């Protein structure tokens, strides 16, 4: 049995799945990224600590969506740049054309002495209901 604290983050799998869904449906996949020193992007395009990147196959070269990073080459203002985004810094992926996609919890910056969202401990178990039964896990809908 796998301990939940040892399992990998679902974020890279969901990013890859939504990227593929966008490509299959002719949509343009965009990622919103919370920028810190670990993110390699043109800083002149960062706004309020965030940047939105087009990660379509048409806009990128050598795109790699690994469990740890999104890496590619792209042109910004006609200048070729190498982009590297840690998966933990991705806060959303969505289709440009219709806005459908998924948002993720924003990472917590290291200077606050807190851990990133991907490394947080699971929430404590809910109390046992009257009668000694168990509660079923519930999916939280995030808008």
pLDDT for residue 107: 86
**Rounded distance, CA 47 to CA 53, Å?**
12
Mean pLDDT of 102-126: 59
**Rounded distance, CA 15 to CA 7, Å?**
17
Work out whether the CA dihedral 94, 53, 73, 40 comes out positive or negative.
negative
* 13-22, 30-39, 83-92, 113-122: segment of lowest average pLDDT: 113-122
**Rounded distance, CA 116 to CA 106, Å?**
9
pLDDT for residue 16: 97
**pLDDT tens for residues 26-62?**
999 999 999 999 999 999 999 999 999 999 999 999 9
Strands (E), 2-89: 29-34, 50-54, 61-65, 69-76, 79-86
* 22-26, 80-84, 119-123: segment of lowest average pLDDT: 119-123
**Rounded distance, CA 84 to CA 137, Å?**
36
Q: Where are the domains of the chain?
A: 8-104
pLDDT for residue 37: 95
Model confidence at 139, pLDDT cuts 50, 70, 90, reads low
Percentage of the chain modeled with pLDDT above 70: 71
- CATH fold, domain 8-104, is SH3 type barrels. (2.30.30)
Mean pLDDT of 8-24: 95
């Amino acid at each position: 049995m796998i301990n939940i604290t040892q399992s990998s983050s679902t974020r890279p799998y969901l990013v890859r799945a939504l990227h593929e869904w966008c490509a299959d449906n002719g949509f343009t996949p965009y990622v919103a990224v919370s920028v810190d020193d670990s993110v390699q992007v043109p800083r002149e395009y960062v706004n309020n600590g965030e940047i939105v990147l087009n990660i379509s196959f048409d806009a990128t070269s050598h795109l790699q969506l690994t469990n740890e990073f999104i890496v590619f080459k792209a042109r910004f203002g006609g200048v070729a740049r190498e982009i590297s985004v840690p998966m933990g810094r991705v806060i959303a992926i969505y289709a440009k054309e219709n806005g459908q996609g998924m948002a993720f919890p924003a990472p917590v910056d290291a200077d606050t002495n807190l851990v990133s969202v991907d490394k947080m401990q699971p929430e404590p178990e809910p109390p046992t209901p009257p009668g000694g039964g168990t509660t079923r896990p519930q999916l939280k809908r995030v808008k």
